[in-house]
Structure 1
Amino acid sequence: MNVLLVGCGRMGGAMARGWNGAHRVLVFDPMAAELPDGAERVDSLDAVEVEGELAVVLAVKPQVFPSIGETLRPLAAQGALFVSIMAGITLTGLGDALGSGRVVRTMPNTPAAIGQGITAAVAGRDVRMGDLATVNGLLEPTGQVVWIDDEAQIDAVTAVSGSGPAYFFRFTEALAKAGAQAGLPPALSMQLARATFTGAAALAGADPAELAELRRQVTSPGGTTAAGIAEMDLNHAIDVIVQAVVDAAAARSRELAG
């Protein structure tokens, strides 16, 4: 298959590296000084000419898309499949700009750049059955892929997994700060917090047990962990703040989508 990658930043570049050897990869990104191995540079979208099936992966910033949508219309007219990883642009917005309903809207998250992400995808009105397998293959280098039937769920997906990595980073910052205030040298406290964060994530990924069970395994009755968890659960504090965080992010996602 021919794949045209529009935008070769961190996420797009990670995808292109994963496609090396599996597809013919064309890249349009005037700002990219170097391209991943195996990729061919395209200097103009008007100059794209391929034989056979073409998938166009839109990996530019959302504010850039309006300036290139019209240029991509000839490819849409030729039957190209479009896959967007841009936030905030709906299936309708994509279809109106491209003049095609053969579009898939996705919401990845930043761990996708190292193949450890999860991406939710929703299909446009003219997507064919075989296109789902194609999209799965294109997104495979980024990690897990899940399909949703209702585009309205994208806002909640954005709030949970799209924005989610930042929440964990922020909690780790707070944990490191609290450790320093408890008497640890700041650098050591940050090292402990970061290693605990990454180690716990690795354990959660490797152990099939429910998260509640993993939590119970480290929480001895009357012990230090139990004392800390009790503060989190006091007046449902952790649930209240996380719900507020997700609600705020989802609301903003809806605003950005118009």
Structure 2
Amino acid sequence: MAGCGNMGGAMLSRWTGGELPAITVVDPAGIDTPNRVRHVRSIDALKGERYDALIVAVKPQMMEDVLPPYANLLRPGAFALSIAAGVPTSRISRLLGDLPVARVMPNLPAACGQGMSAVFAQEGITASQKILVGKLVSATGEIAWLEEEGRIDMFTALAGSGPGYVFEIMRALQEIAQARGFTPAEARQIAVETVAGAGELARRDPRSLEQLRNDVTSPGGTTDAGLTVLRRDGGVGDLLEKTVDAAFDRAVELR
């Protein structure tokens, strides 16, 4: 594994099961690694060793300098799995001597096994390699396999950045609760558990999100009064659409 930043570390924490391959991490920083994970600070420590796969978790601006030497560590038939945001598989493949590349766009809840990730695989990725990628990514949560790499930018705007939108809603709920007299701890618990509970119910209940919303909304009741405000002047739907579009536009700029 080349590099181990926040997202790399989050995913790595889930890749320690006995059914998954052992992993060696190369990162100049001192990092805490889970069981069965070896950490070295320099690629020089791996001279003479050969690997079947390379996980790319390097910052995009470091790719050109960092990746090429890793091509010498890979066995014939190896592949790369990239978790680097905004970097197309074609660029990574070129830097690694035309190695086939699979690309995953995870989100932060991968750290607790509740992530939502999109995966795209180049044509050169074999069926067995896809199975391995599936095992690695499913250890962090749910997977959406994409046929077109270009769709990752929209996935990034929706699910990659999505936790940030949800955290902002939770933060606002906490702030409002505190302003209405709840302690900071109480206000945080109210915000977090309200969102977590609603999400878990939506996961377990097959009914549409619209139906779930209607079930909690009695005509003329408190929720109805609140939703009336949320729907005013285009409502939260229009605001979220603008939010997602802005994130998508930025993802395209960073490509």
TM-score past 0.5 threshold: yes
Go from structure 1 to structure 2 and tell me whether the alpha carbon gap of 1:91 and 1:36 turns closer, same or farther (over 3 Å shift): same
The question of 1:12 aligning with 2:8 is answered yes
Query: How far did 1:161 drift?
Result: 0.2
Map of 2:103 onto structure 1: 105
**Preserved contact between residue 76 and residue 98 of structure 1 (Cα < 8 Å):** no
Query: How far did 1:79 drift?
Result: 3.0
Within a 5 Å distance, the mapping from 1:189-204 to structure 2 comes to 189-204=187-202
Map of 1:185 onto structure 2: 182
Measured in 1, the distance between the counterparts of 2:240 and 2:16 equals: 37
Deviant stretches of 4+, over 4 Å: 48-51
Which residue identity lines up with residue 102 of structure 2 in the other structure? V
Within a 5 Å distance, the mapping from 1:220-235 to structure 2 comes to 220-235=218-233
Which residue identity lines up with residue 81 of structure 2 in the other structure? V
Query: How far did 1:76 drift?
Result: 5.2
Go from structure 1 to structure 2 and tell me whether the alpha carbon gap of 1:178 and 1:16 turns closer, same or farther (over 3 Å shift): closer
| Among 116, 119, 128, the residue aligned to 2:114 | 116
Which residue identity lines up with residue 127 of structure 2 in the other structure? M
| Among 204, 208, 211, the residue aligned to 1:210 | 208
Which residue identity lines up with residue 225 of structure 2 in the other structure? A
**Preserved contact between residue 69 and residue 98 of structure 1 (Cα < 8 Å):** yes
Map of 1:134 onto structure 2: 132
- TM-score using structure 1 length: 0.88
Query: How far did 1:49 drift?
Result: 4.6
Query: How far did 1:186 drift?
Result: 5.2
Map of 1:65 onto structure 2: 63
Measured in 2, the distance between the counterparts of 1:161 and 1:68 equals: 28
| Among 140, 154, 157, the residue aligned to 1:156 | 154
Taking only the aligned residue pairs, the percentage that are identical comes to: 36
Which residue identity lines up with residue 87 of structure 1 in the other structure? A
Q: Which runs of 5+ in 1 are unaligned?
A: none
Q: Which runs of 5+ in 2 are unaligned?
A: none
Measured in 1, the distance between the counterparts of 2:202 and 2:165 equals: 17
Measured in 1, the distance between the counterparts of 2:164 and 2:173 equals: 14
The question of 1:21 aligning with 2:21 is answered no
- TM-score using structure 2 length: 0.89
Helix, strand or coil: the match of 2:38? strand
Measured in 2, the distance between the counterparts of 1:133 and 1:218 equals: 41
More displaced 10-residue stretch of structure 1: 246-255 or 194-203: 194-203
Query: How far did 1:13 drift?
Result: 3.5
Which residue identity lines up with residue 6 of structure 1 in the other structure? A
**Preserved contact between residue 177 and residue 186 of structure 1 (Cα < 8 Å):** no
